[in-house]
A and B are shown apart, each in its own frame.
Chain A
Amino acid sequence: EAQVTQNPRYLITVTGKKLTVTCSQNMNHEYMSWYRQDPGLGLRQIYYSMNVEVTDKGDVPEGYKVSRKEKRNFPLILESPSPNQTSLYFCASTPPGLPYEQYFGPGTRLTVT
Chain B
Amino acid sequence: KNQVEQSPQSLIILEGKNCTLQCNYTVSPFSNLRWYKQDTGRGPVSLTIMTFSENTKSNGRYTATLDADTKQSSLHITASQLSDSASYICVVRVSGGYNKLIFGAGTRLAVHP
Asked whether, in the complex, the Cβ of A105 is within 8 Å of the Cβ of B99, the reply is no
A93: min CB distance to chain B, Å = 10
Task: Please indicate the chain B residues that have their CB under 8 angstroms from the CB of A4 in the complex.
Answer: 43
Residue count of chain A within 8 Å CB distance of chain B: 25
Say whether A98 faces chain B, with CB atoms less than 8 Å apart. Answer: yes
The 10 A-B pairs at the shortest CB distance, nearest first, are namely A42-B103, A104-B43, A43-B103, A99-B49, A100-B99, A99-B32, A42-B105, A104-B44, A106-B43, A42-B104
Asked whether, in the complex, the Cβ of A99 is within 8 Å of the Cβ of B93, the reply is yes
Q: How far is the CA of A8 from the CA of B110 in the complex (A)?
A: 28
A56: min CB distance to chain B, Å = 8
Task: Please indicate the chain A residues that have their CB under 8 angstroms from the CB of B43 in the complex.
Answer: 4, 90, 92, 104-107
Task: Please indicate the chain A residues that have their CB under 8 angstroms from the CB of B89 in the complex.
Answer: 42-43
Within 8 A of A (CB), among B71-113: 89, 91, 93, 98-99, 101-106
